Structure 1
Amino acid sequence: MCVEDDPSGKQKHQQVPSTGTLLVDTSRRDQVGEFRGVAGPYWSLRPVCGGREWEADPANVRAPSPMERLRAEIARCNARSEGRIL
């Protein structure tokens, strides 16, 4: 579990998501990635269509909107149909 500062000055705990959960990294221009695990104080995310994982600060990660989720799932399906990912 990670801890982040609340604007009220209190600390709150952020729940670690399940592997494969789609998340948005706001520090990378709202890039959507799959949660892969915890790496020290950071969360490892992987691009939806495959590629190199990156580490994100949990304070900069949020759940995707329905539209972001749909776009990511369509991009993954297209990549699979083109043979780019399995």
Structure 2
Amino acid sequence: MTQQTENRTPERGTHVYDPATCRVGEFQGKVGPHAMLRPVGGGREWQADPGKIRRATAPERLRAGVKAANERAGRML
């Protein structure tokens, strides 16, 4: 999979990888020059460089989903 260098904006909710933070997030939209990403499972959004983010791979999406489920389970205890 290639980086988002072709000026293609992902659809809202698409899982993308941000290499600056080494995190997978759900694409929320663009605000000015920034892409806004939200952690998988919810949480505080962060800004990312839209030219550097790329679609998350299947293993990256799975890892992010498992992490979110574990965090949810930990809050329930």
TM-score range, shorter chain: 0.7 to 0.9
- Of all paired residues, the percent bearing the same amino acid is 46
Distance of 1:36 and 1:78 partners within structure 2 = 23
Aligned residues: 72
Question: Does residue 25 of structure 2 align to residue 33 of structure 1?
Answer: yes
Q: CA RMSD in A?
A: 2.1
Partner of residue 64, structure 2:
72
Q: TM-score under structure 1 normalisation?
A: 0.69
Query: Residues 53-72 of structure 1 correspond to what in structure 2 (within 5 A)?
Result: 53-72=45-64
Q: Secondary structure at the match of 1:20?
A: coil
Shift of 1:51: 1.6
TM-score, normalised with respect to structure 2: 0.76
Report the structure, 1 or 2, having the larger strand content: 1
Q: C-alpha separation between the residues in 2 aligned to 1:78 and 1:58?
A: 29
Structure 2: segments with no counterpart, 5+ residues: none
**Secondary structure of 2:47's partner?**
strand
Partners in 2 of 1:21 and 1:75 — Cα distance? Answer: 17
CA distance in 1, matches of 2:29, 2:61: 19
Specify which structure has the bigger relative contact order, considering alpha-carbon pairs within 8 angstroms and separated by 6 or more residues.
2
Partner of 1:7: none
Q: Which residue of 2 aligns with 1:44?
A: 36
1: CA distance, partners of 2:51 / 2:13 = 19
2:20 is paired with a residue whose SS is helix
